[in-house]
């Protein structure tokens, strides 16, 4: 009799439905078609047994990655980013519309990016479109072509080809994304409250003071007002300032459709430990103090912060101004795609959280927010994208073992808890020595 299943994965420990359980996961043609108790033995061509120190997780869904290709492929690229993702347990990533050239602000630019990405991705890759001052008419074609939504800035983005939206332009863009039913991602900092002149030099405290929490709070106030007025859907990317949480909570309580993410670096790194001149720690908004970090964790625990994604945003070592250590001159962005899971798990565990919490923040919630409801979970019908994780194993981050194109990361040398032993994509383990099997994906649904 032919086996019903291609593969049965037997896991003494797995995160399913928000709990840790012993489980058997049956896979057929790349999907989970059977889910039963660990002791059941359905017929399968292949049976894989996890070790006692391993936990089976769904593959992570990272909705905030800057791949930078085409145009700035010396910063990162589809091959290197997707290899890093696979090595880090991430099975779906969504690429940001900026830092590539062209930026993804027209249908032609999207198609150019898809042509470059096709056949060189080790995990599944989807795309965000960009909303800039002169491309309102391009949002509908991009939406129809399957982008997962749009990203805009409320202040200078750092690259000339991706200008920011003034408040009136932002409101007009939100009206259009509301009409389309599309999600609008917003980089929310208010330029009037930022003093760039104070950012220069190698003193981290001066850079931090140049970008106060009030800059995020005021911009998030605009996001909430404009989202309420448009009746649309917005998402605040990379929240650093915990002081904005009460306003977001109040807006959601009143029915405004606004969600928010934070990132591994805001949860794991503390301004007090950033050495002067260590520009690998520079990002915008900045890493703040320990009290702020405690409040971000409280926001996650309370459900006021929805999800945790990397905001992987690398550049070349030269642009990080490592030689001078000038925080004002350095590119703002942190590289973490391959180590995001252990970074968050190490800190989460210290604060009493379980793996189910981390899976919720880094897999299920991001998948749900972008409509990928068959990803980010171990469930019947879901894509068989999995991560075999050893939560008690420790390792030291060795930049030579990172697949990121540029070996610059604030986590270099850090000891982390939790190692990714294997990543499964579409029902079989990813083999970085074999040709890539990742697919380009598009938004599901309206």
Q: How far is the CB of 253 from Zn ion (least distance, A)?
A: 28
Segment lying near Zn ion (by CB under 5 A), choices 27-35, 305-313, 343-351, 377-385? 305-313
With vertex at residue 307, the alpha carbon angle to CA 33 and CA 162, rounded to the nearest 5 degrees, is 110
Q: How far is the CB of 128 from Zn ion (least distance, A)?
A: 10
Q: How far is the CB of 204 from Zn ion (least distance, A)?
A: 20
Q: How far is the CB of 212 from Zn ion (least distance, A)?
A: 20
Rank residues 13 and 72 by Cβ distance to Zn ion and give the closer one: 72
Q: How far is the CB of 346 from Zn ion (least distance, A)?
A: 22
Tell me the residue number closest to Zn ion, measured at CB: 311
Q: How far is the CB of 442 from Zn ion (least distance, A)?
A: 21
Q: Which CB contacts under 8 angstroms, 24+ apart, belong to 108-111?
A: 110/142, 110/145, 110/147, 111/145
Segment lying near Zn ion (by CB under 5 A), choices 23-31, 141-149, 261-269, 306-314? 306-314
Q: How far is the CB of 48 from Zn ion (least distance, A)?
A: 36
Residue with tokens 């696979």: 86
Q: How far is the CB of 64 from Zn ion (least distance, A)?
A: 6
Residue with tokens 């599901």: 444
Segment lying near Zn ion (by CB under 5 A), choices 172-180, 269-277, 311-319, 401-409? 311-319
Structure tokens at 248: 């977001």
Rank residues 311 and 357 by Cβ distance to Zn ion and give the closer one: 311
Segment lying near Zn ion (by CB under 5 A), choices 254-262, 273-281, 295-303, 309-317? 309-317
Question: For Zn ion, how many residues bind (rule: CB under 5 A)?
Answer: 1
Q: How far is the CB of 78 from Zn ion (least distance, A)?
A: 17
Cite the DSSP H helix spans in 236-393: 245-253, 264-268, 290-302, 340-350, 355-359, 365-369
Rank residues 26 and 126 by Cβ distance to Zn ion and give the closer one: 126
Segment lying near Zn ion (by CB under 5 A), choices 196-204, 297-305, 310-318, 409-417? 310-318
Residues with Cβ within 8 Å of residue 304, at least 6 apart in sequence: 245, 248, 249, 260
By the 8 A CB rule, do 435 and 120 touch?
no
By the 8 A CB rule, do 50 and 80 touch?
no
Rounded CA-CA distance 234/256 in Å is 9
Rounded CA-CA distance 79/63 in Å is 17
Rank residues 95 and 385 by Cβ distance to Zn ion and give the closer one: 95
From 62, 95, 311, 368, residue interacting with Zn ion (rule: CB under 5 A): 311
Q: Does 54 bind Zn ion (CB under 5 A)?
A: no
Rank residues 15 and 98 by Cβ distance to Zn ion and give the closer one: 98
Rank residues 261 and 311 by Cβ distance to Zn ion and give the closer one: 311
Rank residues 311 and 368 by Cβ distance to Zn ion and give the closer one: 311
Q: How far is the CB of 285 from Zn ion (least distance, A)?
A: 11
Helix (H, G, I), strand (E, B) or coil at 205: helix
Rank residues 98 and 178 by Cβ distance to Zn ion and give the closer one: 98
Closest CA to 257 of 228, 237, 229: 228
Which residues 112-141 are close enough to bind Zn ion by CB under 5 A? none
Structure tokens at 258: 């606004």
Which residues 264-303 are close enough to bind Zn ion by CB under 5 A? none
DSSP string, 358-396: HHIIIIIHHHHHTT-TTSSS--TTSB--EEEEEEEEEEE
Rank residues 54 and 311 by Cβ distance to Zn ion and give the closer one: 311
Rounded CA-CA distance 357/360 in Å is 5
Structure tokens at 70: 């085409």
Distances (CA, A) of 6 to 3, 373, 427, 439: 7, 23, 9, 21
Rank residues 366 and 391 by Cβ distance to Zn ion and give the closer one: 366
Segment lying near Zn ion (by CB under 5 A), choices 8-16, 174-182, 252-260, 308-316? 308-316
Kindly list the residues in this chain that would bind Zn ion in the complex (CB under 5 A): 311
């Amino acid at each position: 009799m032919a086996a019903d299943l291609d593969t049965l994965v037997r896991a003494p420990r797995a995160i399913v439905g928000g709990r840790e359980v012993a489980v058997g996961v049956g896979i057929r043609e790349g999907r989970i078609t059977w889910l039963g108790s660990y002791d059941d033995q359905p017929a399968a061509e292949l049976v894989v047994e996890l070790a006692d120190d391993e936990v089976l997780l769904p593959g992570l869904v990272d909705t905030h990655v800057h791949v930078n290709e085409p145009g700035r492929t010396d910063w990162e690229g589809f091959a290197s980013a997707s290899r890093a993702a696979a090595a880090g347990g991430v099975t779906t990533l969504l690429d940001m519309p900026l830092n590539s050239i062209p930026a993804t602000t027209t249908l032609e630019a999207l198609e150019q990016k898809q042509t470059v990405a096709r056949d060189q991705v080790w995990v599944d890759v989807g795309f965000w479109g960009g909303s800039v001052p002169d491309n309102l008419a391009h949002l509908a074609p991009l939406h129809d072509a399957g982008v997962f939504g749009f990203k805009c800035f409320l202040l200078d983005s750092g690259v000339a080809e991706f200008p920011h939206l003034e408040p009136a332009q932002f409101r007009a863009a939100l009206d259009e994304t509301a009409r389309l039913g599309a999600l609008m991602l917003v980089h929310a900092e208010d330029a009037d409250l930022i003093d760039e002149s104070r950012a220069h030099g190698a003193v981290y405290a001066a850079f931090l003071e140049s970008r106060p929490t009030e800059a995020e709070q005021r911009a998030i106030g605009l996001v909430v007002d404009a989202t309420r007025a448009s009746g649309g859907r917005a998402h605040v990317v990379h929240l650093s300032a915990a002081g904005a949480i009460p306003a977001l909570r109040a807006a959601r309580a009143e029915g405004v459709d606004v969600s928010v993410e934070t990132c591994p670096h805001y949860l794991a790194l503390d301004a007090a430990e950033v050495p002067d001149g260590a520009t690998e720690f520079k990002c915008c908004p900045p890493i703040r103090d320990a009290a702020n970090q405690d409040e971000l964790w409280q926001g996650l625990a309370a459900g006021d912060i929805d999800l945790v994604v990397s905001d992987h945003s690398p550049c070349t070592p030269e642009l990080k101004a490592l030689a001078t250590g000038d925080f004002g001159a350095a590119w703002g962005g942190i590289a973490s795609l391959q180590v995001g899971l252990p970074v968050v798990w190490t800190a989460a565990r210290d604060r009493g959280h379980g793996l189910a919490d981390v899976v919720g923040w880094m897999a299920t919630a991001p998948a749900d927010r972008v409509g990928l409801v068959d990803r980010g979970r171990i469930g019947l019908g879901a894509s068989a994208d999995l991560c075999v994780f050893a939560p008690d194993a420790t390792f030291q981050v060795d930049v030579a073992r990172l697949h990121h194109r540029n070996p610059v990361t604030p986590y270099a040398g850090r000891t982390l808890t939790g190692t990714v032993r294997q990543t499964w994509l579409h029902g079989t383990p990813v083999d970085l020595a074999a040709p890539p099997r990742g697919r380009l994906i598009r938004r599901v649904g309206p």
